[in-house]
Structure 1
Amino acid sequence: MIFHGNLVTAALALTLVPGVAAAHFQLAYTEESLIDAPGDVPVKLIFWHPQESGPVMDMGEPLEFYAIHRGEKIDLKSSLSQTVFRGPLNEAVAWDGSLPVKRMGDYVLVTVPAPYYEDSEDIYIQQITKTYLNRGQMPTDWDSAQGLKAEIVPLVKPYNVIAGSTFTGRVLSAGQPVAGAEIEIEYMAAEPDMATGAPKPATAGPLPGGAIVAVSDENGYFTFGVPKAGYWGFAALGVGPDTAFEGKELSQDAVLWIRAFDLK
């Protein structure tokens, strides 16, 4: 359990679940989470299995792609161009975008993808995704909910987590906490190469025993001990209010990416 003052904020079940297949994860990837100077930051949108550098799925054109900075929305959809990401097993449609970073503070990247049809399960998947950047070490927006249908709100600053510490988040569905949400957790073992549109060499192997899974407590909180530097993804499965799309089941997931660093 994690205590904040006298309030118990998280009690989780954390397991390696053999029956859970390698996780689909929506990426909104930037090479850096801490930005020193103003300029345009390249962003690559990929629907992939980054832990084991597995299959890549075709992404339809995102429904929304924007950033929140100092509470204001910056529409980034016009920056998107279709591209191809070439994984070791296949290649698939991905998207390149750009985030103009000017003033100091946080930039919360929000991606609302089109639902993806997973024929092996006969369902649609829509992973509403948040990624965080900061310029100038001035926190402004990171701990705020963004009013998404499905989202994870961080309780730890998500762009400079220390490896070996813990990360706590809260799962929300249309602004309300979700008890008993299943959260898949995955390490981005192979980061995308922005120039080549292919994975860099993997820095870790597949997880033994299957996906890491946490379960949110009665107030929607969960906590995870972050063992390694790099990007970590959290996907709260099926927590959004929309449950059907084009006559089939829809899993409307909340995805959040954090960046961890080694303490040197």
Structure 2
Amino acid sequence: MKHLLLATAAALLLPKVAGAHFLLSYTKDTIIERPGDVPVKLAFWHPMSDGTVMELAEPLEFYVVHRGEKTDLKSSLTPTVFRSSENSAGAYMGSVPVKRSGDYVLVTVPQPYYEESEDKFIQQITKAYLNRSGLPTDWDQPQNLRTEILPLTKPYNIIAGSTFRGRVMAAGDPVAGAEIEVEFMAAEPDLAGEGALAPTAKPLPGGAIVVISDDEGYFDFGVPKAGYWGFAALDIGPDKEFEGKPLSQDAVIWVRAWDLN
């Protein structure tokens, strides 16, 4: 408890930033009732503010893990365009075959993106989760990525108003003092079109929501609203340079909260 209180206090002292960019791995639902191919949209975007979209190159890896078995999904990817309220940029559509009961851990490893304003590269290694038939199988297992957030709360059916807990990892080790940006997907992508649906919330004053992991890599966040929430642990991966410039290798996880009716 002492570590969490210290982490919260540290978060309050951090300088505020204008907004957060997140790699989306978006499906309309996380609970899949019928077997079939589930559409996925990949976009690099500011989802809280429906802000700038960054150009997304073809991912280095795009796969799903089900019952411990990895299936490559890169052949399902097709280039598309994503349009925000500010601009448009390249994105991708893909699909996940969901057949048997259990969890489906969707992993996207993008090519590093050059952020000209900061003269550095950003690589957001991203996980998202689906489930069929309510049978938990894989959600709490690490995927042995260069960096990742390990969920300690089942990530696809969180109750709005409860707490999401995770652990920040890099090269298999916990990361103390990681800065984690938190983002609500206020406007969800329109899978049938190129833009986003109407936003259900406005950006908060004061910039990005930030929490800090404790000395064992753990963090908590009270999820106040139903919908998709993203967590990005910034610049924690072991790879620090790409093409002669600094690389921020980030761990991103998307979770889904629901209202308790």
* Equivalent of residue 70 in structure 2, options 50, 73, 91: 73
Superposed structure 1 runs of 4+ greater than 4 Å apart: 8-11
The whole-number CA distance in structure 1 between the counterparts of 2:159 and 2:165 is: 13
Counterparts in 2 of 1:161 and 1:20: CA distance versus 1, 3 Å? same
The whole-number CA distance in structure 1 between the counterparts of 2:217 and 2:121 is: 24
Q: Give the AA of the match of 1:112.
A: V
Task: Give the equivalent residue in structure 1 for 2:117.
Answer: 120
Task: Give the equivalent residue in structure 2 for 1:245.
Answer: 242
Q: Match of 2:121, SS?
A: strand
Task: Give the equivalent residue in structure 1 for 2:139.
Answer: 142
The answer (yes or no) to whether the contact 1:71–1:141 under 8 Å persists in 2 is yes
The whole-number CA distance in structure 2 between the counterparts of 1:196 and 1:225 is: 32
Q: Give a deviation string over 1:158-201, Cα, whole Å, max 9, x none.
A: 00000000000000001100000000000000000000120100
Q: Kindly, what percent of the aligned residue pairs are identical?
A: 67
* Equivalent of residue 87 in structure 2, options 75, 90, 112: 90
Q: Give the AA of the match of 2:84.
A: G
Task: Give the equivalent residue in structure 2 for 1:4.
Answer: none
The whole-number CA distance in structure 2 between the counterparts of 1:135 and 1:10 is: 34
Counterparts in 2 of 1:159 and 1:150: CA distance versus 1, 3 Å? same
Counterparts in 2 of 1:22 and 1:152: CA distance versus 1, 3 Å? same
Task: Give the equivalent residue in structure 1 for 2:169.
Answer: 172
The answer (yes or no) to whether the contact 1:18–1:210 under 8 Å persists in 2 is no
Compute the TM-score of the two structures, normalised by the length of structure 1. 0.95
The answer (yes or no) to whether the contact 1:43–1:97 under 8 Å persists in 2 is yes
| Cα distance, 1:19 vs structure 2 | 2.9
Which aligned pairs between 1:115-264 and structure 2 lie closer than 5 A?
115-264=112-261
List runs of 5+ in structure 2 lacking aligned partners: none
Corresponding position: 1:47 with 2:48: no
The whole-number CA distance in structure 2 between the counterparts of 1:56 and 1:17 is: 25
Task: Give the equivalent residue in structure 2 for 1:21.
Answer: 18
The whole-number CA distance in structure 2 between the counterparts of 1:53 and 1:83 is: 18
Q: Match of 1:192, SS?
A: coil
Task: Give the equivalent residue in structure 1 for 2:56.
Answer: 59
Q: Match of 1:260, SS?
A: strand
Aligned residues: 258
The answer (yes or no) to whether the contact 2:18–2:206 under 8 Å persists in 1 is no
